[in-house]
Structure formats: C-alpha cells, structure tokens
Chains A and B, each alone.
Chain A
Amino acid sequence: MLGLLISRLIQACLVMLVISVLVFVGVYAVGNPIDVLIGPDVTQEIRQQTIERYGLNQPLWLQYLAFLQRLLVGDLGTSFVFNMPVLSLILSRVPATLEIALLAVLGATLIGVPIGMLAGWRPHHPLSRLAMGVSVLGFSVPTFWIGLVLILVFAVWLGWLPAGGRGPTLAWFGIEWSVLTLEGWKHLLLPAVNLALFKMALMMRLARASTRELMLSDTVRLARATGQSEATILRRHVLRLISIPIVTVFGLELGATLAFAVVTETIFSWPGAGKLIIDSIQALDRPVMVGYLMLVALLFTTINLVADLLYALLDPRLRSRRT
C-alpha cells in the first residue's frame, strides 16, 4: 500500500510538471501580450520599460524556469488587467462557482437518480420512455443553448427572474454567499438549473442502465423469490448496489462542473472563476490563464489520485498490482 502511495504520488507530480510545460508553452504562443498591455501610440521607451517589468524580453525557457520557481512557492504572478495577485484573484471568484456547482450537482443527483431507477425498473413503460427522451435532450442539447432559452422564457418573456449577474450577497465567514438572501436565490436559480440539466440527464441514464442490468440479475431474482415487494427490492438492494458508481460519478462531476461552469457563467454574467478565464483569454491576460489552468490541473490530479487510492483501499486485488 505504501509503495502504491509513493508511486502514485510521484506519478501525480510528473503529470503536474508535464502539464505546467504544456500550459506555459501553449498559452505563451497565443500572441504578443505587450500589444494588449499598452496602446500602439506609446513611446518606444515606455514599451521597453513594460517589457522589462514583466520579464517578457527573456528567452522562453528562462521565463518558464522563473514561472516554475514562483509556482512552487504558490506565487502565480500578477494579473495584467486587474493588477492584483493571480492566486487571490482566482480564489476570490471560486465561492461563486462552487455555489452554483454544488447546487447543480446535488439537485441533479437527488432528482435524476430516482427517475432513472424507475425508468430502469420498467424500461418499456411510456413514462420511462418519456424520461429517457428528456434525458437524451438534456444530454445532447448544448448547455449554452439551454441557457439562452431559460433567459428568453423566464427573464424576457415572463420577467420572473433576472437575466444575469449575481445580485446582492451576504457575507458569512468572510465569504460572500447568494444562498442567504431571497434575491440571491432568484439570481442563483437559472444558472444552477442550466448547469444541472446535463448532470441530471447523466445521473438518470447511469441509474437506468445499472438498474436495468440489475433487474435481470440473480440478486433481484432471489430477492423476488423471498417475496419482497418491488419497492423494497429497489430501495434495499438495487439502490445499494448502484450507489457505488453513482457516488463515484458524483465526485468526478463536481470537479467537471467547475469546467462546465465556464459556459454557464459566461451566459449569465455570473462572476465566478469560469467567467474570469474567458475574459482573461479574450484580454490575453496570460498570468491568469496559466494560473487558472494550473489550479484546475491540480484539482483534477488530486481527484484522480484520491480516487485511485480509494479504489486500492477498497479492492485488495488492485493493491498488489503496480502500473
């Protein structure tokens, strides 16, 4: 177990190193940031000063080494646009993203799993077919288009909910939250629903597929033979057996939602981390782009590492095998 832990840790570090090179080279090939920082009509002198201040005249590999060095001490540089440290800039946006992401994934699971189980229990019932049709819609229709329709219907035509922005927030433990006020909920609802629909379709399909296969299994056949009611079988046996993949997907999706939030946040002008990265890409604000990508890479590498180790802990067969 210790050997596995060490080998996985080294692997994770290697992955982060490779990603840092890819991200750095990729992002620094976008264009000349100096043209974005200063207008074209400034003097050559100011131009030179700016280049030197940001170290843009150094060779690329030197810039990378300096970047890596700063990375190790948690210094992600300073945003060109906001003129503040990247790390605190991104962290200040994370609560807003986390708020809609958590709400979306929780809602999607609590609604999607029961519907999916029922659809897997009676796969040929018209309602099950309807549920699956809706899930195909939620799965296929691009998130950004659902967002547009939500805005058109609920903000433009009905005028019930605001079309964008975060509205008033209340501070709790030094962080601003929307869930504490009614007005905040109004602003939160549309983006959260937008983000949740895809997850809900995913949960429905996952629950349906696992339930459908389980209904044909010996477990369920034996449970039926003992005279248990169908509801008891679904709740006591099927739900327990499918909960393992569902919990796994829940964890992974929470991470992935942070990425999908990019689209939702852009449409609803939600001031989260996703909106920040799109704005930064458009303004060629490289330190923010690099910093955001490195943080996301760190998040996903950590999730993978934890998942790997948890599987090894739960499944003794994986412990001895080393890859």
Chain B
Amino acid sequence: MRLDRFWMEYRDNRIAVVALVVALLMMAAALAAPWISPQDPYDLASLRLMDARKPPGHVNAEGTTYLLGTDAQGRDVLSAILHGLRLSIQISLIAGAIAFSLGATLGATAAFAGGRFESVIMRIVDLQLSFPAILLALVISAALGQGRWQMIAALVAAQYAYFARTTHGAAAAERSKDYVEAALSTPLPAWRVVMRHILPNCLPPLIVVGTVQVANAISLEATLSFLGLGLPVTEPSLGMLIANGFQYLLSGRYWISIYPGIALILLIVSINLVGDQVRDQFNPRLRR
C-alpha cells in the first residue's frame, strides 16, 4: 500500500520515470551482454587489424556492420561497451553492497552502543569524510595494485563512511523513541533490536545514499581505470575503453572514446535522477 502511494507520486515526475527506465534497460543490457553483443571482445582470434579504427557504420569484407565503429585492435566498439558496462555495473554493485552492509552495521552499532565507542567510531568516519573520496581510492588502488577485488576494496574503503554517517544520524534519532525502549524491555537480544527494529526505520535515507553511491562508484571506477590505476588491461571497463581511445581523439577519431563515455554518462545520470526524486519524496521539509 505504501509502495503504491510512493509510485503514484514518483510517476508525476516524468523525467524521473524516463531515468528509471533508462537505468533498468542499461542494467538489463549489461546482464545480457554475452548473448546480445555482436562480437566477443575478449576473443582475440576474431579481431582483425584490417578492421581497426573504422568509423561508425563501417561494413567489413565479410559484410559485418560495425554500428559504433571499431577501436585500435579492430574490436567492435558496441560489443566492448556492452561488456565494459557489465564489468562496471558488477563492480559498483558489489562494492556498494559491501559498503552498505559495513557502513550500516558500524553506524547503527555506534548509535546504539553510545559512549566512547560511538565517539571514536564517528570521529574516524567524520575524518574520513573530510578527505576527498577520489584521493583515498587513488592511494588504495595504487597500494593494492590492479585487479577486480583490489578495485572493490578501494571503492568500499572510500564509500563505507557515507553509509555509516547516514545510518548513525538516523539510528541515533530512532534510539530515543519509545518503541525501541519497548523492544529493549523484552528479552530479545540487543543486536536483534538493532537489526529488526532500528535498521528498517533508517532505510529511507540509506536508500537515497545507496543510489547516489552506486552512481559514484561507477564514476570513481571509471576515473581510476582512466588514470591507469584501476582494472588490468585484460578486463576493459568503460573507463579503460575511454582511456584507450584518448590518443586517437586528438586525431579526430572520436568514436573510440566518446561512445563508451556516453554510455557511462547515461547510466550515472539516470541513477542520480532516480536518487534525486526519491530523496525529494522522502524529505519531510518539502511537504508543507
């Protein structure tokens, strides 16, 4: 019922609806990438240098059409984008989920425990938030080296603090309410009260932070990969594809960089627009 009313209100913002559809479509395309992409971009045997750096719409000797052109190795840009999208979304979702769980647990525990534990944990979180996330991720991925899990670790380290701060704020407000006191007076263990009663009531702000942070993770991953500090060359995410095309951009071969970039932006912007609308709907101060 509440979800129904939420959707009714969401539907009023047509831009947000379009954004939601675009985001879902792109995720579906990423999920289906191995089956719908015209070419397997990882299969080096199917690449031919004859077809390298051809503009969008190029038709090769065998009659294959490259809708978005080919890159320096003769790889179909469209297929590379679909696979890159898959990789980028995969990594950001995993990193987001870990950061969410870690941050929410830490924030809720701190708010519940109070005292010295709370002040030390929150001081660390605040301190971390005052440093730019990109710098932190840069340092960690430089220290850990290249690789999928190293990248996820860097993203989690850069992002868990946002979840911890948000949960702490919401949980501290819930902590003093009567229903929590009531739940605590029952013989239920304290962790159960935190998990079953306090956390669910902190969800609205966490969902907003979650959407924004997944978009941020995608952007951060792309930036690090672009700088050559992210994923190895064998796993081309969107950022890597854009970096590979950078040198050809200056000679006017824009499609190698620009199309992966457009895919990246469509994804990030649509997720952010959805997050914006959800935040406005959750904000009680705008309801007067």
Residues of chain A touching chain B, judged by Cβ–Cβ distance below 8 Å, are 11, 15, 23, 26-27, 29-31, 133, 136-137, 139-145, 148-149, 151-152, 155-157, 163, 212-213, 216, 252, 256, 259-260, 262-263, 266, 277-278, 281-282, 289, 293, 296-297, 300, 303-304, 323
Kindly identify which residue among B219, B229, B252 contacts A140, using a CB–CB cutoff of 8 Å.
B219
- Given contacts A262-B135, A296-B135, is CB(A141)–CB(B143) below 8 Å? no
Give the complex CA separation of A149 and B264 in angstroms.
14
Query: Closest 3 A-B residue pairs measured CB to CB?
Result: A26-B143, A259-B132, A259-B135
Question: Is there an interface contact between B142 and A289, defined as CB atoms closer than 8 Å?
Answer: yes
Give the complex CA separation of A197 and B115 in angstroms.
42
Pairs A–B under 8 Å by Cβ, sample size 17: A23-B139, A27-B142, A140-B215, A142-B222, A144-B223, A144-B239, A145-B261, A148-B257, A156-B252, A163-B250, A213-B285, A252-B130, A259-B131, A259-B134, A260-B132, A262-B134, A282-B228
In the complex, what residues of A have CB within 8 A of residue B130's CB? Answer: 252, 300, 303-304
Give the complex CA separation of A148 and B239 in angstroms.
12
Question: Is there an interface contact between B227 and A278, defined as CB atoms closer than 8 Å?
Answer: yes
Question: Is there an interface contact between B229 and A281, defined as CB atoms closer than 8 Å?
Answer: yes
Give the complex CA separation of A160 and B239 in angstroms.
27
Q: Give A23's nearest chain B residue, CB to CB.
A: B139
B242: Cβ under 8 A from any A Cβ: yes
- Given contacts A15-B127, A260-B132, A262-B134, is CB(A144)–CB(B226) below 8 Å? yes
Question: Is there an interface contact between A142 and B142, defined as CB atoms closer than 8 Å?
Answer: no
| B1-35 to A contact mask, C-beta < 8 Å, 1/0 | 00000000000000100000000000000000000
Give the distance to chain B from A114, nearest Cβ to Cβ, in Å. Answer: 22
| B225-241 to A contact mask, C-beta < 8 Å, 1/0 | 01111000000000100
- Given contacts A304-B127, A323-B123, is CB(A137)–CB(B269) below 8 Å? yes
In the complex, what residues of A have CB within 8 A of residue B222's CB? Answer: 142, 144-145
In the complex, what residues of A have CB within 8 A of residue B288's CB? Answer: 216
In the complex, what residues of A have CB within 8 A of residue B249's CB? Answer: 148, 151-152, 156
Question: Is there an interface contact between A140 and B228, defined as CB atoms closer than 8 Å?
Answer: no
B273: Cβ under 8 A from any A Cβ: yes
Q: Give A26's nearest chain B residue, CB to CB.
A: B143
Interface size class of B (residues with CB under 8 A): 35 or more
In the complex, what residues of B have CB within 8 A of residue A252's CB? Answer: 130
Which applies to chain B's interface (DSSP): helix, strand, loop or mixed?
A: helix
In the complex, what residues of B have CB within 8 A of residue A263's CB? Answer: 134, 223, 226-227
Which applies to chain A's interface (DSSP): helix, strand, loop or mixed?
A: helix
B272: Cβ under 8 A from any A Cβ: yes
Question: Is there an interface contact between A140 and B135, defined as CB atoms closer than 8 Å?
Answer: no
B268: Cβ under 8 A from any A Cβ: yes
Q: Give A145's nearest chain B residue, CB to CB.
A: B261
Give the distance to chain A from B111, nearest Cβ to Cβ, in Å. Answer: 15
Give the distance to chain B from A11, nearest Cβ to Cβ, in Å. Answer: 8
Give the complex CA separation of A27 and B271 in angstroms.
34
In the complex, what residues of B have CB within 8 A of residue A155's CB? Answer: 250
Question: Is there an interface contact between A136 and B276, defined as CB atoms closer than 8 Å?
Answer: yes
Q: Give B222's nearest chain A residue, CB to CB.
A: A142
Give the distance to chain B from A217, nearest Cβ to Cβ, in Å. Answer: 10
Give the complex CA separation of A212 and B119 in angstroms.
33
In the complex, what residues of B have CB within 8 A of residue A213's CB? Answer: 285-286
Question: Is there an interface contact between A140 and B257, defined as CB atoms closer than 8 Å?
Answer: no
Question: Is there an interface contact between B132 and A145, defined as CB atoms closer than 8 Å?
Answer: no
Give the complex CA separation of A64 and B191 in angstroms.
41
Give the complex CA separation of A262 and B131 in angstroms.
14
Beyond the given A145-B261, A148-B246, A156-B250, could you list 18 further A-B residue pairs with CB under 8 A, ordered by the A residue number? Answer: A26-B143, A27-B143, A30-B143, A136-B272, A140-B268, A141-B268, A142-B265, A144-B226, A145-B222, A151-B249, A152-B258, A163-B250, A213-B285, A213-B286, A262-B135, A266-B227, A277-B138, A281-B229
Question: Is there an interface contact between A141 and B258, defined as CB atoms closer than 8 Å?
Answer: no
Q: Give B220's nearest chain A residue, CB to CB.
A: A142
Question: Is there an interface contact between A30 and B145, defined as CB atoms closer than 8 Å?
Answer: yes
Question: Is there an interface contact between A281 and B142, defined as CB atoms closer than 8 Å?
Answer: yes
Q: Give B120's nearest chain A residue, CB to CB.
A: A323
Question: Is there an interface contact between B142 and A30, defined as CB atoms closer than 8 Å?
Answer: yes
Give the complex CA separation of A145 and B226 in angstroms.
9
Give the complex CA separation of A289 and B140 in angstroms.
12
Question: Is there an interface contact between B272 and A140, defined as CB atoms closer than 8 Å?
Answer: yes
Give the distance to chain B from A122, nearest Cβ to Cβ, in Å. Answer: 15
B254: Cβ under 8 A from any A Cβ: yes
Tell me which of B135, B226, B265 has the highest count of chain A C-beta atoms within 10 A of its own C-beta.
B135
Q: Give B19's nearest chain A residue, CB to CB.
A: A136
Question: Is there an interface contact between B229 and A142, defined as CB atoms closer than 8 Å?
Answer: no
Give the complex CA separation of A296 and B285 in angstroms.
37
Give the distance to chain B from A22, nearest Cβ to Cβ, in Å. Answer: 9
Question: Is there an interface contact between A256 and B246, defined as CB atoms closer than 8 Å?
Answer: no
Give the complex CA separation of A296 and B261 in angstroms.
30
Give the complex CA separation of A23 and B139 in angstroms.
8
Give the distance to chain A from B146, nearest Cβ to Cβ, in Å. Answer: 11
Give the distance to chain A from B218, nearest Cβ to Cβ, in Å. Answer: 9
In the complex, what residues of B have CB within 8 A of residue A163's CB? Answer: 250
In the complex, what residues of A have CB within 8 A of residue B252's CB? Answer: 156-157
